[in-house]
């Protein structure tokens, strides 16, 4: 996401570990923007658990095995990708860099993997599709206005997106304390591009957080499959034709 910013600091710092990107972002981004990307909800317990979970994954070395040719390719929903890593939906990427979702789409294509575009992207499905070929999914919230949902699905399909990633764990947004303190809202020079013309593109600044108020006004709280980590719920989802289940924590709490 930092694009050209990295070129500016290349002389002073050589990146040797992926964790260093966060340090660079903190130096380069406005506090409100950095806090939005970096923080979770309330005590951030789930966010810490998400990070610590990776330390519990161990590799078991296999000795005297030919590793001269390693194949990390796999398939997701029948699509071949170069590695078992995909790009999850991340909202409002142009807050970090003018290229925003364009750069992410091009990077995913170059790496041979899948990008999932956020509903709350600062680039539309059509704009992302125009960056060139690539396997792309579209993350979708269920809005109160079902006509909006139908329009977004049709546009994603026409733009060549291959699957819909339906978010069902957000009847309301988590209480992100950093966003409340910063009075977070989308900068005035940006809009949620997928909603332009639908009276949903602008996010007003509110007493707490413009984002929280926006979600409260648009998301249908009656359709909540909360508890998607429970196996019995997954059978319920399958009855509605779910093909692939992504168990995420939505920035963590």
pLDDT per residue as tens digits for the range 161-218: 999 888 877 667 788 999 999 999 999 999 999 988 776 544 444 445 555 555 555 5
Specify which residues 80 forms β-bridges with.
75
At residue 237's C-alpha, the angle toward residues 231 and 241, to 5°, is 140
CATH number of residue 24's parent domain: 3.20.20.70
Give the per-residue pLDDT at 12.
Answer: 58
Closest C-alpha among 207, 226, 212 to residue 173: 212
Residue 251 lies in a domain: no
Q: Flag whether pLDDT at 252 surpasses 90.
A: no
Q: How many domains does the chain have?
A: 1
Residue 246 lies in a domain: no
Q: Which residue has the tokens 């499959």?
A: 225
> Two tokens at 114?
């899948």
- Give 218 or 69, the one with higher predicted confidence: 69
Q: Are 41 and 51 in contact (CB under 8 A)?
A: no
Residue 249 lies in a domain: no
Residue 139 lies in a domain: yes
Q: Are 231 and 23 in contact (CB under 8 A)?
A: no
Q: Is 158 exposed, middle or buried (0-12, 13-18, 19+ CB in 10 A)?
A: exposed
Residue 26 lies in a domain: yes
Q: Are 120 and 91 in contact (CB under 8 A)?
A: yes
**pLDDT tier, 141 (very low <50, low <70, confident <90, very high otherwise):** confident
Indicate if the alpha-carbon torsion angle 238, 240, 246, 251 is positive or negative: negative
Of the chain, the percentage scoring pLDDT greater than 70 comes to 72
**pLDDT tier, 239 (very low <50, low <70, confident <90, very high otherwise):** low
Q: Flag whether pLDDT at 85 surpasses 90.
A: yes
Q: Which residue has the tokens 């989308």?
A: 186
């Amino acid at each position: 996401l930092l694009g050209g910013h990295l070129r500016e600091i290349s002389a002073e710092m050589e990146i040797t570990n992926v964790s260093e990107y966060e340090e660079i972002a903190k130096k380069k981004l406005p506090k409100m923007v950095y806090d939005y990307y970096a923080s979770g909800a309330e005590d951030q317990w789930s966010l810490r658990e998400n990070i610590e979970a990776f330390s519990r994954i161990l590799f078991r070395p296999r000795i005297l095995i030919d590793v001269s040719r390693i194949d990390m390719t796999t398939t997701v929903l029948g699509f071949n990708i170069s590695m078992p890593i995909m790009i999850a939906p991340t909202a409002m990427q142009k807050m970090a860099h003018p290229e925003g979702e364009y750069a992410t789409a091009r990077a995913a294509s170059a790496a041979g993997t899948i990008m999932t575009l956020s509903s709350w992207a600062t680039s539309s499905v059509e704009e992302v599709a125009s960056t060139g070929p690539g396997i792309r999914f579209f993350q979708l919230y269920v809005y109160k206005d079902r006509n909006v949902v139908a329009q977004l699905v049709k546009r994603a399909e026409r733009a060549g997106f291959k699957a819909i990633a339906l978010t069902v764990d957000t009847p309301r947004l988590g209480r992100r304390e950093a966003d409340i303190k910063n009075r977070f809202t989308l900068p005035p020079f940006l809009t949620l591009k997928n909603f332009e013309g639908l009276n949903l593109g602008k996010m007003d600044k509110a007493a707490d957080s413009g984002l929280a108020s926006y979600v409260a006004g648009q998301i249908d709280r009656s359709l909540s499959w909360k508890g998607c980590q429970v196996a019995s719920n997954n059978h319920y989802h399958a009855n509605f034709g779910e093909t692939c289940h992504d168990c995420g924590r939505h920035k963590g709490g």
